[in-house]
């Protein structure tokens, strides 16, 4: 299991497009993917789940990966957050 912390940096927060990108990226990997925020957690491969997070700019999220390709999955996800989902910050 890999656990890492990320911060939502893009201005609009995890709205529709970033949420879709997270789900699409997570779905490329076999590992299970959980996102925790403020004490509750959701399935990171579910668009409904990620939307329900309603994470805004500055929100801190804990990402939990578990599975064969957890390392690669974690790297890919971290990159997505670091780049602010390709949006202007």
Partner 1 sequence: MDTRSKADMEHLEGAEITLESAAADPRPSRAEGGDGEIVLEGVGVSPGIAIGPAYLYARTTFEVEERLLSDDEVEEELERFERAVARSERDLNKIILVTREKLGEDSADIFEAQLLMLRDEALYNAVEEYIRREKRNADYAVKVVMDKHRRMMEASGNEYLRERANDLLDVEERIIRHLLRGKILSAIAPHSIVVAENLTAADVVLFSRRGILGCALDFGGPTSHVSIMARALGVPAVVSLHSVTELVAPGDEIILDGIRGRVIIRPTEKTLAEYRISRERYRRLIQEEKQLVPLPAETLDGHCLHLHANLELYEELDQLHEYGAEGIGLVRTEILFLVRGSTEISEESQYEVYRKIVEAMNPGVTTFRVFDLGGDKLLPMAHREHNPFLGWRGIRVLLDRPELLLPQLRAILRAGAHGPLRILLPMVTNINELRTFRAHLANVEHELIEEGFEILANPPVGVMVEVPSVALQADHFARESDFFSIGTNDLTQYVLAVDRGNDLVADLYEELHPAVLMLIHRTVEAAHRHGIPVGLCGELASNPRAVPILVGLGIDELSASPVYLPGMKRVIRAMKKTEGETLARVALEARTADEVREKLDQWLGEHACGFTYFFENDPPPGPGGRTAAS
How far is the C-alpha of 31 from the C-alpha of 27, rounded, in Å?
9
DSSP 74: H
* Residue 15 is among the residues annotated as catalytic for this protein: yes
34 binds partner 1 (CB under 8 A): no
How far is the C-alpha of 68 from the C-alpha of 52, rounded, in Å?
27
| Region near partner 1 per CB under 8 A, out of 2-10, 17-25, 62-70, 74-82 | 17-25
- Scan residues 59-88 and list those touching partner 1 (CB under 8 A): none
- Nearest CA to 73 out of 11, 3, 20 is that of 3
Binding interface with partner 1 (CB under 8 A): 13, 15-17, 19-20, 23-24, 43, 45-49, 51-52, 54
């Amino acid at each position: 299991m890999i656990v890492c912390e990320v911060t939502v940096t893009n201005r609009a927060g995890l709205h529709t497009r970033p949420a879709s990108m997270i789900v699409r990226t997570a779905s490329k990997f076999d590992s299970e993917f959980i996102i925790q925020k403020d004490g509750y957690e959701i399935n990171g491969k579910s668009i409904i789940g990620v939307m329900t997070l309603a994470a805004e700019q500055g929100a801190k999220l804990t990402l939990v990966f578990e599975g064969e390709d957890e390392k690669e999955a974690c790297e890919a996800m971290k990159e997505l957050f670091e780049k602010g989902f390709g949006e202007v910050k």
